[in-house]
Amino acid sequence: MRVEELFRNEHGRILATLIRLLGDFDVAEDALQDAVAVALEQWPTAGTPANPVAWLVSTARHKAIDRLRRRARLAQKQDEIARHIELTAFDQEAPVPEDRLRLIFTCCHPALAIEAQVALTLRTLGGLSTEEIAHAFLVPAPTMAQRLVRAKAKIRAARIPYEVPSIDALAERLEAVMVVVYLVFNEGYAATFGARLVRHELCEQAIRLGRMLVELLPDHAEPKGLLALMLLHDSRRQARVDTAGEIVLLEHQDRKLWDRARIEEGAALAEAALRGAGGQLGTYALQAAIAAVHADARTAAETDWPQIVALYGMLARVNPSPVVELNRAVAVAMSSGIEQGLALVDDLDRQGELTDYHLLPAARAELLRRLGRHAEAAESYRRALALVSNDAERKHLDKRLREIVS
Amino acid sequence: MRYMLLIYGDEKASAKMSRDEGEAMFREYGQFTTDIRNSGAFQAGAPLQPTSTATTVRSRNGKAVTTDGPYAETKEQLGGYYIVEAKNLDEAIAIASRIPRVRRGGAVEVRPIMELGPQP
């Protein structure tokens, strides 16, 4: 493994252990940077150590003691910290799985702004640089740096604990962690602006974090559902945008481009998530199950729509939302007839909860187009265009509108 | 570590509270305060008179000027506070969420206290 690759892959594990040993984000980050510098200098000539992770943790710890010693000449208190670190037994140096779990719960603490949670998670566990994160979220690097500094200052000043939440709070806090991971994924997957490579890196990071949660919380069903959902979405990455950068709808995608390995892994995880859920089915597991049904169809026409309608029905019970109802309405249109689906979409339109959501008029337009009611379809496409913000989606809607008015 | 819990609520709504409601809330506050005294978290705390009794002091041209009213006109007003000892933010949040105001549509701001060490 190349040294740089090792640093990135193991960044989260090493930093999480150092934060536990040193008790401070900044001290840990500086120490790790020092250790990496030593490694880059020594390894090419002396050879890579047998256990590079242990070597980096140990070296970083010593570097932290040195740094604090140097500063201790000015402040007596720091010397005490340095001595405390030194006294921590060496057998505590080995990274334990809980380290990363503690770190992600700290980074995704609800007392931090969601943007800060995302940035901290990618910085510490993902090993992305501040510049890379800034680039991915289209924010100037100094703004992102300040966001990270503020978040770390709050962790220290307000004493946000570095620990896995107690059993009674765990489910709720895990939910918050999963929101962050899925947000990172969607940022990489849904948005089509910006460099493709950076976006792809975000999806990879989110999937890696999802794998970590599954590995560290094996008794919880929902992380499996989340990982399944991300893998199943990601399996279609090659097929969902054409060479011109335009969106290809699910039914028109070239299914040979779908990543079978990801689909198989995702489908198995979705099943495990549904089986392990007990009484309460999770929203990620249900969404993953829907994605798995789509993935299972060899052609769009072979899609098991009644199954999808049933799954959306279950999702609506667990998580009542007009967006879920809209998806169910479209599935009804596909399984029981377009008019029936359209009636449900019109009901939702009248309820007025989705007036700013471009996908409602977009779905309505699509159904009207299929029914040959072109004038009404055009009106709905125009409504959708007035609300859409994503460029690729705008292009797609515009193309459809031009097709039916010509 | 000490935290200050600043309790905000709609004064106008409180003023309209029925006698029974007011008494129930008073009892709940009594119980809550006793609980955190027993657990050792309580350091200080009190309700405040309404903002109609507030006076704000500012400096204008180097002179202290007083005006009638609170520092800021807001929809919800500071109505009381606690200072509690807690191990970390999670523990402080757990205490704050039990303040009777929270269940009645109010809000509590949790602020860590800056410890300045022993004063000479």
- Does the model's ipTM exceed the 0.90 cut? no
B87–A contact, CB cutoff 8 A = yes
Burial of A303 (0-12, 13-18, 19+ CB in 10 A): buried
User: Residue B14: pLDDT band by 50, 70, 90 thresholds?
Assistant: confident
Report if residue A54 sits inside a domain: yes
* Same structural domain, A124 and A57: no
Residues A86 and A126 in one domain: no
* A106 and A9 in a common domain: no
Do B66 and B57 meet the contact criterion of CB atoms below 8 Å apart? yes
Distance from CA of A162 to the nearest CA of B (A): 9
Which of A341, A311, A304 shows the shortest CA–CA distance to A326?
A341
With contacts defined as CB-CB under 8 Å, which chain B residues touch A173?
Answer: none
Give yes or no: residues A115 and A185 share one domain.
yes
Two tokens at A75? 């402040």
From A49, A76, A95, the end of a domain falls on: A95
Write out the DSSP string of A230-252. Answer: HHHHHTTGGGSB-TTS-B--GGG
Q: Are residues A46 and A124 in the same domain?
A: no
How confident is the model at residue A84, as a pLDDT? 60
Distances, alpha carbon A206 to alpha carbons A73, A228, B119, in Å: 43, 12, 49
Task: Answer whether A199's CB lies under 8 Å from A191's CB.
Answer: yes
- Return the SS3 of A172: helix
Residue A311 has pLDDT above 90, yes or no: yes
Residues A128 and A267 in one domain: yes
Sheet holding B42-47, edge to edge: B42-47, B77-85, B2-9, B107-112
| Min Cα–Cα distance to chain A from B2, Å | 10
Nearest CA in chain A to B89: A160
Determine, for residues A169 and B110 on separate chains, whether the beta-carbon distance falls below 8 Å. no
Residue A328 located in a structural domain: no
Checking phi first, is residue A166 left (phi over 0); if not, alpha (psi -120 to 50) or beta? beta
pTM of the model: 0.84
What is the reported pLDDT for A89? Answer: 56
Q: At what angle do helices A114-124 and A97-107 cross, to 10 degrees?
A: 150
Judge whether A389 lies within some domain: no
pLDDT digits (tens, 9 = 90+) for A294-310: 999 999 999 999 999 99
With CA atoms as reference, report the closest residue to B42 among B78, B9, B5, B79: B5
pLDDT at A81: 62
Bridge partners, residue B42, by sequence? B84
Tell me whether residues B88 and A159 touch, CB distance under 8 A.
yes
Last residue of a domain, one of A64, A95, A126: A95
Question: How close, in Å, is residue B86 to chain A by CA atoms?
Answer: 10
Per-residue pLDDT tens over the stretch A318-334: 999 999 999 999 999 99
Domain-located, residue A42: yes
pLDDT of residue A214: 96
Please report which confidence band the pLDDT of residue A8 belongs to, taking 50, 70 and 90 as the band edges: confident
Å between A76 CA and nearest CA of chain B: 15
CB contact under 8 A, A169 and B89: no
Domain boundary among A49, A64, A95: A95
Percent over 90 (pLDDT), chain A:
64
Indicate whether A38 and A150 sit together in one domain. no
Q: Mark whether A88 and A103 lie in a shared domain.
A: no
Label the pairing between strands B55-60 and B63-68: antiparallel
pLDDT of residue B120: 58
Residue A87 within any structural domain of the chain = yes
> Tell me: the pLDDT tens digits for A84-120?
666 565 567 777 888 899 999 999 999 999 999 999 9
Cα–Cα distance, A32 to A114 (Å, whole number) = 26
Number of domains in chain A: 2
Q: How many Å apart are CA A285 and CA A277, to the nearest integer?
A: 9
Enumerate residues 162 to 181 of chain A having a beta carbon within 8 A of any beta carbon in chain B.
165, 169
pLDDT digits (tens, 9 = 90+) for A147-172: 999 999 999 999 999 889 988 889 88
Which residues in chain B are contacts of A109 at CB distance < 8 A? Answer: 89
**A109–B87 CB contact, under 8 Å:** no
Strand partners, A252: none
Establish if A135 belongs to a structural domain: yes
Partners of residue A157 in chain B, C-beta under 8 Å: 112, 114
Domains in chain B, start-ordered, CATH in brackets?
A: 2-112 (3.30.70.1060)
Specify whether A26 is located in the same domain as A116: no
Question: Do A141 and A151 fall within a single domain?
Answer: yes
Is A158 in Cβ contact with B112 (below 8 Å)?
Answer: yes
Integer Cα distance of A248 and B27 in angstroms: 63
Shared domain for A153 and A212, answered yes or no, is yes
User: In 3-state terms, what secondary structure has residue A112?
Assistant: coil
3-state secondary structure of A308: helix
The amino acid occupying position A51 is N
Does a structural domain hold residue A319?
no
By three-state DSSP, how is residue A83 classified?
helix
A111 and B1 within 8 Å at the Cβ level: the answer is no
> Residue A195's pLDDT is what?
55
Which residue from A109, A157, A169 is facing B112, i.e. has the nearest CB? A157
- Domain limits for position A112: 97-237+256-276
Residue A380: pLDDT band (50, 70, 90) is very high
Q: Kindly state whether residue A56 falls inside one of the protein's structural domains.
A: yes
User: Who's near B44: CB < 8 A, 6+ residues apart?
Assistant: B81, B82, B83
Query: What residues have CB less than 8 Å from A56, skipping those under 6 apart?
Result: A10, A14, A32, A35, A36, A39
* Cβ–Cβ under 8 Å, residues A203 and A189: yes
Nearest to B112 among A159, A161, A169 (CB): A159
CB proximity under 8 Å: A 102-131 to B = 109, 111
Instruction: Verify that A165 and A267 share a domain, yes or no.
Output: yes
Amino acid at A203: C
Mean pLDDT of A51-58: 92
